[in-house]
């Protein structure tokens, strides 16, 4: 299984400041033949299902604010929120679909400082 | 607009079999892949398995659960189902159904989830 490890486990950031969450996979999730990373980021608010924010490591889903961005390749990835808003308080998960079993990171809880 | 809705019992006894159904609207069950994912209270997400139906059926299960899991589809009812046997307290979780375009695609639509508690 590909193990996904996120850091930090929790993060407190002031409104308007930048938040950065990291995700590391135990093996590469890059399909080199098509140069795509099979890595997604989800946002989960209390009592709600996860919401897909970013796929292919850096492509924002339709309707996702442009303050959310994803970067990285191979085994190291980052989700950045450029200017934290109150509605961004949530748990964030990375997930690989490079191979089954699909696996998620343990989650990063983002709060307001 | 694609919508998914889980249904099933909220309480199941240890050693029994859990049966959940996901009803799909706004999409054909024959056009996508359909997964079950679970989340124990206060914990992270675990993929259980997927099914793909297009004439014939293809399934893929998490090896950690494979011996206890069956996922099936009823295309006429636009539903797919999960059966998980030999339940224990460790199976207590919110169970989600989710859609993805292919075996190497992301979960773009999710149901709201249903909490299943395993307790006598």
pLDDT averaged over 10-residue windows placed end to end, chain B, 120 residues = 96 98 92 95 97 90 97 88 98 97 93 98
pLDDT-based confidence at residue A42 (cuts at 50, 70, 90): very high
Mean pLDDT across A83-100: 97
Tell me which long-range contacts A53-60 makes (C-beta under 8 A, separation of at least 24).
Answer: A53/A79, A53/A92, A54/A79, A55/B105, A55/B106
Which pLDDT score is estimated for A32?
Answer: 87
Strand runs labelled E in B11-113: 11-12, 18-25, 33-39, 46-54, 56-61, 69-74, 79-84, 93-100, 109-110
CA atoms within 13 A on the CB side of A7: 4
> For position B73, what pLDDT does the model report?
92
**Looking at residue B56, what is its pLDDT?**
85
pLDDT of B15 reads 97
Chain B partners within 8 Å of A49 (Cβ): 96, 98, 110-113
Question: Are residues B45 and A101, on separate chains, in Cβ contact within 8 Å?
Answer: no
**Which residues contact residue B52 at a Cβ distance below 8 angstroms, ignoring those fewer than 6 apart?**
B32, B33, B34, B58, B59, B103
What is the pLDDT averaged over residues A70-97? 98
User: Nearest-CA distance from A9 to chain B in Å?
Assistant: 12
Q: What percent of chain A has pLDDT over 70?
A: 100
Tell me which DSSP letter residue A17 carries: S
Q: Are A95 and B110 inside 8 Å of each other by CB?
A: no
Q: Which residues in chain B are closer than 8 Å to A104, comparing Cβ atoms?
A: 44-47
Is the pLDDT at A83 greater than 90? The verdict is yes
Those residues with Cβ within 8 angstroms of residue A32's Cβ, 6 or more apart along the chain or in another chain = none
Look at residue A39 in the predicted model and tell me its pLDDT.
98
């Amino acid at each position: 299984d590909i193990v996904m490890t996120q850091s930090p486990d929790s993060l407190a950031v002031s409104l308007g400041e930048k938040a950065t969450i990291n995700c590391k996979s135990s093996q590469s999730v890059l399909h080199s033949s098509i140069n795509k990373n099979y890595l997604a980021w989800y946002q989960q608010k209390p009592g709600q299902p996860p919401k897909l924010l970013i796929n292919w490591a850096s492509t924002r889903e339709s309707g996702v604010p442009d303050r959310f961005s994803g970067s990285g390749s191979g085994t190291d990835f980052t989700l950045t929120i450029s200017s934290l808003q109150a509605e961004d308080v949530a748990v964030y998960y990375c997930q690989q679909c490079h191979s089954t079993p699909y696996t998620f990171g343990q989650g990063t809880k983002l709060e307001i400082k | 607009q694609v919508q998914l809705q889980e249904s099933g019992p909220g309480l199941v006894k240890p050693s029994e079999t859990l049966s959940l159904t996901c009803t799909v609207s706004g999409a054909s069950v024959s056009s996508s892949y359909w997964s079950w994912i679970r989340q124990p209270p206060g914990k992270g997400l675990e993929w259980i398995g997927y099914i793909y139906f297009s004439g014939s059926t293809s399934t893929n299960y998490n090896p950690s659960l494979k011996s206890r899991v069956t996922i099936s589809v009823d295309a006429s009812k636009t539903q797919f189902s999960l059966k998980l046997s030999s339940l224990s307290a460790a199976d207590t979780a919110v169970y989600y159904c989710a859609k993805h375009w292919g075996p190497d695609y992301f979960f773009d639509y999710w149901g709201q989830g249903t909490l299943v508690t395993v307790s006598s």
